[in-house]
């Protein structure tokens, strides 16, 4: 699992006050893309859950893909333009941990996950101007898959291509558009990489800061989250094949989305729908980014750019809550420590192989139902990769309520699933949803007041 985090700034880069990002909202409707019948006799591949993203990203849950682990991390050193100063370094050999910082303006921390080599890359540069305030910066996180070639190529070329497109925009008669320049820069990078004939692909998230304006763009599932007065706000939307607009685009071009081992994939292979590279799926996997621009204001405290190695395990608000005590309202901010803490938090959960969940509730009438639903599903999201999972009666009641309210559930890789509850209408919806979202279950155990049985599920 790749974990790369760029935080900026520890103190404001170009303004007298700090930066922030929040979660992307998703809803899951009901119909289903073509899906291959599952191996387990009693568990079907889930019905197609189309994610409908609203224009305003206000939610905290984003369905995430799971991608195979990758190679070792080498931080690239891109060409340095005359107007900037950068601390990007190229280690002599692949490193498991990479740290970088620039005078308190940004911090980078990359760490290889336990499942395999690391393919994340980053780019960070800040304009140097000793005579006045800083006016320009560019940050990027690039999450490679199928090799590190695409991530390295994007880290070396995307900034220059965007800069060239911005120069062209200034001479257009129909007016300047930063969104169009960034789009052209992404597409140019993709075209040039494909000409190289290299394999693999990369998800990208970038942040361009210029003259007090922030433009955040992404293609894929790397994410940008900003803290707005302590409230997390996602500035990007994860591009997955199960999103309604992405699915419609893919199918209109003759492609299909299939469910493989609980993950929706284009042509049954790739679990992201946008990015650099992926030659064999280029008809459907586009490089065109989505861009959001905003004016930097005092309530914007800090910005986090990270790959899915972090966001698969940590929610947007959790990330902000972890970072904020290190860099907001303190005399000596320790933002690099905050980056490390985020990486450690994602590792803490990823090492869990067995978990048991239940909730002690004195009175269902007095509880805050909405908050409880959110927290219960957050717990499940973090434990999606455990091999052995036990759910108690009250926890099943909560997720049953979530199912009845059509709240989206994560997919699970659990192989040994246990329910401890009397079978009733209060727990059955949750049990059914857990089974539908756990296609790899091999053993199902029921603990009730009157019966205890173990059911081996055969392929």
Predicted confidence (pLDDT) per residue in 313-325, tens digit: 788 998 999 999 9
Residue 129 pLDDT: 59
Q: Calculate the average pLDDT of the chain.
A: 75
Residue 270 pLDDT: 94
pLDDT at 367: 53
How confident is the model at residue 449, as a pLDDT?
Answer: 57
pLDDT tens digit sequence for 5-16: 555 544 433 333
- Reported as a single tens digit per residue, the pLDDT across 212-229 is 899 999 999 999 999 999
List strand residue ranges (DSSP E) for 211-297, in order: 213-219, 223-228, 231-234, 257-260, 263-266, 276-277, 290-295
* Nearest CA-CA partner of 155 in 193, 181, 184, 127: 193
Please state the domain extents for the chain.
2-24+59-239+274-350, 354-456
Would you say residue 31 has pLDDT above 60? no
**Cross-strand partners of 305:** 6, 224
**Model pLDDT, residue 18:** 33
Average pLDDT value for residue range 404-418: 86
Q: Is 175 left (phi over 0), alpha (psi -120 to 50) or beta?
A: left
Contacts of 360 (CB under 8 A, 6+ apart): 394
What's the pLDDT at 315? 87
pLDDT in tens, 152-188: 999 999 999 999 999 888 777 777 789 999 999 999 9
Q: Please count the other Cβ atoms lying within 10 Å of the Cβ belonging to residue 196.
A: 12
Of 184, 134, 180, 177, nearest to 158 by C-alpha is 184
**Which residues are 156's β-sheet partners?**
none
Provide the percentage of residues in the chain whose pLDDT is more than 90: 36
Q: For the chain, percent helix, then strand, then coil, each to nearest 5?
A: 25, 25, 50
Per-residue model confidence (pLDDT) at position 166 = 92
* CA dist list (Å): 301 to 9, 164, 229, 451: 8, 30, 7, 54
**Are residues 254 and 285 in contact, defined by beta-carbon separation less than 8 angstroms?**
no
Long-range contacts of 228-231 (CB under 8 A, 24+ apart): 228/20, 228/21, 228/22, 228/299, 228/300, 228/301, 229/20, 229/299, 229/301, 230/301, 230/320, 230/321, 230/324, 230/328, 231/20, 231/22, 231/317, 231/320
Q: Tell me the mean pLDDT in the region 404-415.
A: 84
Cα end-to-end span (Å), the chain? 28
> What pLDDT, on the 0 to 100 scale, is given for residue 459?
45
- Cβ–Cβ under 8 Å, residues 2 and 113: yes
Q: In 3-state terms, what secondary structure has residue 198?
A: coil
From residue 73, give the alpha-carbon distance in Å to each of 97, 121, 276. 8, 7, 18
**Percentage of the chain modeled with pLDDT above 70:** 66
φ/ψ region of 253 (left if φ > 0, alpha if ψ in -120 to 50, else beta) reads alpha
Distance CA 326, CA 336 (A): 9
Its CATH class, for the domain covering 2-24+59-239+274-350, is alpha beta
Residue 177 burial by Cβ neighbours in a 10 Å radius (0-12, 13-18, 19+): middle
The pTM for the full model equals 0.62
- Of 291, 363, 257, 347, which is closest to residue 45 (Cα–Cα)? 257
How confident is residue 376, by pLDDT bands cut at 50, 70 and 90?
confident
Question: Omega before 434 cis (within 30°)?
Answer: no
* pLDDT tens track for 289-336: 999 999 999 999 999 999 988 888 788 998 999 999 988 888 777 777
Chain center to CA of 140? 14
């Amino acid at each position: 699992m790749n974990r790369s985090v760029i935080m900026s700034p520890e103190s404001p880069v170009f303004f007298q006050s700090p930066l922030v990002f929040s979660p992307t909202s998703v809803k899951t409707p009901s119909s289903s893309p073509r899906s291959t019948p599952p191996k387990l006799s009693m568990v079907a591949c889930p019905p197609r859950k189309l994610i409908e993203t609203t224009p305003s990203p206000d939610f905290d849950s984003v369905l995430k893909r799971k991608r195979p682990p990758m190679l070792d991390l080498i931080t690239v050193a891109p060409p340095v333009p005359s107007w900037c100063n950068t601390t990007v370094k190229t280690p002599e050999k692949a490193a498991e941990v990479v740290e970088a910082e620039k005078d308190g303006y940004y911090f980078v921390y990359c760490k290889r996950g336990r499942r395999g080599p690391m393919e994340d890359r980053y780019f960070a540069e800040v304009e140097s101007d000793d005579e006045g305030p800083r006016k320009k910066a560019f940050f990027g996180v690039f999450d490679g898959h199928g090799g590190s070639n695409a991530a390295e190529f994007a880290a070396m070329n995307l900034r220059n291509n965007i800069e060239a497109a911005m120069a062209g925009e200034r001479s257009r008669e129909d007016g300047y558009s930063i969104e169009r320049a960034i789009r052209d820069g992404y597409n140019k990078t993709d075209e040039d990489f494909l000409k190289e004939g290299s394999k693999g692909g990369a998800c990208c998230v970038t942040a361009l800061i210029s003259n007090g304006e922030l433009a955040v763009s992404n293609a894929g599932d790397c994410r940008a989250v900003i803290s707005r007065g302590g409230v997390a706000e996602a500035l990007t939307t994860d591009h997955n094949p199960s999103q309604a607009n992405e699915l419609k685009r893919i199918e209109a071009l003759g492609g299909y989305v299939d469910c493989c081992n609980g993950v929706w994939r284009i042509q049954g292979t790739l679990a992201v729908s946008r990015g650099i590279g992926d030659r064999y799926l280029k008809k459907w996997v586009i490089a065109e980014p989505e861009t959001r621009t905003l004016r930097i204001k005092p309530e914007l405290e800090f910005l986090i750019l990270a790959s899915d190695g972090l966001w698969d395990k940590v929610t947007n608000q959790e990330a902000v809550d972890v970072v904020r005590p290190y860099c907001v309202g303190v005399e000596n901010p320790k933002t690099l420590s905050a980056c490390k803490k985020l990486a450690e938090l994602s590792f803490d959960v990823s090492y869990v192989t067995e978990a048991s969940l239940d909730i002690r509730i004195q009175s269902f009438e007095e509880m805050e139902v909405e908050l409880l639903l959110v927290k219960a599903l957050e717990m499940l999201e973090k434990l999606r990769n455990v091999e052995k999972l036990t759910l108690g009666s009250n926890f099943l009641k909560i997720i049953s309520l979530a199912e009845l309210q059509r709240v989206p559930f994560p997919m699970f890789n659990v192989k040994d699933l246990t329910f401890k509850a009397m079978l009733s209408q209060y727990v059955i919806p949750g049990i059914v949803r857990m089974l539908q979202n756990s296609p790899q279950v091999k053993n199902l155990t029921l603990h009730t007041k009157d019966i205890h049985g173990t059911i081996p599920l055969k392929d």
